[in-house]
Amino acid sequence: MVQAYRADTENAGRGPQGPGSRLQALRHRLTTDRGLWRRGILLALCSVLLTLVLVLHAEIPNSIGNTGSLVETFLPWFGLLVAPLLILGLLRRSATALIALLLPVVVWLNVFGGLLFADKSGTGGNLTVATHNVNAGNPDPAGTAQQVAGSGADVVALQELPGGQVAAYEKALAARYPHHSVQGTVGLWSKYPLTNSRPVDIKLGWTRAMRATVTTPDGPIAVYVAHLPSVRVKLHAGFTANQRDKSADALGEAIADERLDRVALLGDLNGTMNDRSLNAVTAQMRSTQGAAGDGFGFSWPASFPMARIDQIMVRGVEPLSSWTLPATDSDHLPIAARIQL
């Protein structure tokens, strides 16, 4: 009986419930269950297609409904497609589908993991800037202006200023910002003197962009404020971004001709840094969010931000931190950045 008891004890770890037996059973199933590999081929192909979109998004043509730009606007959200593919792969018990799913996961993390998981914000800096599309239908312009000013920004850019509300913004910001300039529907408020304020022609027929020199204690910086045309997604026309793209090209030319070495662009560009149609601007400037932000910094729509279409970009200065501000009565979130001149 003692020998039988010892034999039973020694074999317990190798019985049906032992870990060694489970591993052998799994190995046996992987090598003999052909259905485990044959099932889920369509799911695997979906994972490959998702990977190709993430890797080759710049090759998606814009000739039909600006499809490429539309994909690039919401490119980070394509990572959510991994979840249903994972669930379906598990339900189908398909090793092929689950292994193929590693492809888009690795690529997405390589492209966006730095934004999602790395806090690149730092301390210091000698100029804080903020920008906000205040929304033409804003019911509380004074309250919105005071909220943005409460960020402590030295320079504030506002877009979508209706002519009838400009006075309200001027009054609300006068105490903190003794210098300001409004050109068309965009304006710039500053603690430091403004010179050479003028409209910038972005080929619209009315003024939605401007440029001014801000003379700080650490030297001058050219500040551009812009509100590029809105875009829409329509069934019959696709992504209606052609007018915005032309304005982006014109804005890029103006910035390229800027004589000052230090430049900042503040505004609502109605496009993300991934959108190839904004290359005329993005190719010559750095995004403060990409260089010194924490997370994606989505700014629109304010109720559930899905894209960063409001931008602070710089050239010739060092971005140190970038963040979104609390919501106002606008449909955009304000954003701010701290830079070193």
CB-CB neighbours of 25 under 10 Å: 11
List the structure tokens of 84.
Answer: 């249903």
pLDDT over 90 at 172, yes or no: yes
Assess contact for 139 and 329: CB atoms under 8 A.
Answer: yes
Q: How confident is the model at residue 24, as a pLDDT?
A: 65
Q: How confident is the model at residue 13, as a pLDDT?
A: 47
Percent of the chain at pLDDT > 70 equals 89
Q: Which fold has domain 127-340?
A: Deoxyribonuclease I; Chain A (3.60.10)
Assess contact for 258 and 221: CB atoms under 8 A.
Answer: no
List the structure tokens of 159.
Answer: 């877009």
- Name every residue whose Cβ is closer than 8 Å to that of residue 157 and which is 6 or more positions away in sequence: 129, 130, 131, 132, 186, 187, 188, 189, 223, 225, 266, 267
The residue to which tokens 């490959």 are assigned: 48
When pLDDT is cut at 50, 70 and 90, the band that residue 32 belongs to is low
Every domain of the chain and the residues it spans: 33-117, 127-340
User: Which has the closest alpha carbon to 154: 131, 170, 137?
Assistant: 131
pLDDT over 70 at 33, yes or no: no
pLDDT in tens, 35-74: 666 788 999 999 999 999 999 999 999 988 899 999 999 9
Average pLDDT value for the chain: 90
CB-CB neighbours of 91 under 10 Å: 11
pLDDT over 90 at 207, yes or no: yes
Question: Alpha-carbon torsion 253, 254, 260, 262, what sign?
Answer: negative
pLDDT in tens, 104-153: 999 999 999 888 887 888 888 999 999 999 999 999 999 999 999 999 99
How far is Cα 174 from Cα 191, in angstroms, rounded to an integer?
10
Question: Alpha-carbon torsion 223, 210, 284, 78, what sign?
Answer: positive
- Greater confidence (339 vs 10) lies with 339
Assess contact for 133 and 310: CB atoms under 8 A.
Answer: yes
Number of alpha carbons in the 13 Å side-chain half-sphere of residue 278: 28
Q: How confident is the model at residue 120, as a pLDDT?
A: 85
pLDDT over 50 at 301, yes or no: yes
When pLDDT is cut at 50, 70 and 90, the band that residue 27 belongs to is low
Q: How confident is the model at residue 2, as a pLDDT?
A: 47
Q: Please confirm whether the linkage preceding 301 is cis (ω < 30° from 0).
A: yes
- Name every residue whose Cβ is closer than 8 Å to that of residue 14 and which is 6 or more positions away in sequence: 20, 21
pLDDT over 70 at 331, yes or no: yes
pLDDT in tens, 248-264: 999 999 999 999 999 99
Per-residue pLDDT, averaged over 153-180, amounts to 97
Q: Which of 100-109, 189-198, 208-217, 237-246 has the lowest mean pLDDT?
A: 237-246
DSSP 327: P
